[in-house]
Structure 1
Amino acid sequence: MKFAHRHQRPSGDDQLIPLINVIFLMLIFFMLAGRIAPSDPIEIEPPHSTEAPEALAPQPEQRTLLIAADGALALDGTALAAAALQQRLAAWHQAVPSGELRIKADARLSSGQLQETLTLLRELGIEHITLLATQAS
């Protein structure tokens, strides 16, 4: 009597385990090889204090204003017209008078267009302004 030989299919789990191993190895590689921020050029160890730590004052709220080369404006990642920008900044400045506004302008933006924006900010009473730039190599 001959019995029919049944072929068993390999289970899907057997083929999935090597894939999971490869994914974990890639994850570990990118965690070790990549870096999120540049490291400090010199190693610094902060001094030790024997006094009790004081409660740190909260940092003033920061907003980022983006100005494109064509004059398009965006506040914290939201594109706005000039009138809407003025209303939002006025409301924000009333709520957080000590807040800092960071301006990230395109390098091709004319100085006249930048000056118009700075004049608007001066009229609103915003005093804490930082102009962001990249470091030349």
Structure 2
Amino acid sequence: MRFTRPQPRPSSDDQLIPLINVIFLMLIFFMLAGHIAPSDPIEIEPPRSSEAPEAQPPQPEQRTLLIATDGRLALDGNALSPPQLQRRLAAWREAVPTGTLRIKADARLSAGQLQETLTLLRELGIEHITLLATQAR
């Protein structure tokens, strides 16, 4: 009498391995792609410009100042009070006299509020200022 060997059932785990590989690859991709630039500490909606932006490589001597409609300020991602901002910019101006300050102000910011900040920058001796805007479509 001959007995046939029972056929081994395919393991359900073998079918999960390719799925796990794909999920891990997607996880790594989204982890890398998701943190390209940190978000701003203050919610800003920059004004729109009809001019096409000039492609400029980032420069190490650039700092970015955020100005919200309620007067909150942030320098390079750190929220600061006006006196703290003044001290940091004065120290930066001494260290990098030819540095460029990029201002990212909210579109709803009044001209008077912006003028106060520009006056402070003029008093500190910061000459190279760029106002950031988004391109109008």
TM-score, normalized by length of structure 1? 0.64
Change (3 A) 1:105 1:24: same
Deviation at 1:18, TM superposition (A): 2.5
Change (3 A) 1:103 1:12: farther
Structure 1 residue 121 and structure 2 residue 118: aligned?
A: no
CA distance in 1, matches of 2:78, 2:132: 18
CA distance in 1, matches of 2:71, 2:81: 10
Deviation at 1:19, TM superposition (A): 1.7
Change (3 A) 1:16 1:130: same
Map of 2:62 onto structure 1: 62
Map of 1:88 onto structure 2: 88
Would you say the 8 A contact 1:100–1:129 is kept in 2?
yes
Q: Runs of 5+ in structure 1 lacking a partner?
A: 1-7, 31-35, 37-58
CA distance in 2, matches of 1:74, 1:95: 20
TM-score, normalized by length of structure 2? 0.64
CA distance in 2, matches of 1:129, 1:85: 16
Map of 2:19 onto structure 1: 19
Change (3 A) 1:92 1:25: closer
Alignment root-mean-square deviation, CA: 3.1
Q: Runs of 5+ in structure 2 lacking a partner?
A: 1-7, 31-35, 37-58
CA distance in 1, matches of 2:25, 2:81: 47
Ranked by relative contact order (alpha carbons within 8 Å, sequence separation 6 or more), the top structure is 2
Could you list the structure 1 runs, at least 4 aligned residues long, displaced by more than 3 angstroms after superposition: 10-13, 24-27
Would you say the 8 A contact 1:63–1:76 is kept in 2?
yes
Structure 1 residue 110 and structure 2 residue 104: aligned?
A: no
Letter of the structure 2 residue corresponding to residue 18 of structure 1? P
Letter of the structure 2 residue corresponding to residue 75 of structure 1? L
Aligned residue pairs, count: 102
Question: Which structure has the larger Rg over C-alpha atoms?
Answer: 1
Q: Deviations over 1:15-73 (max 9, x none)?
A: 5413234337758x98xxxxx9xxxxxxxxxxxxxxxxxxxxxx550000000111100
CA distance in 1, matches of 2:93, 2:134: 27
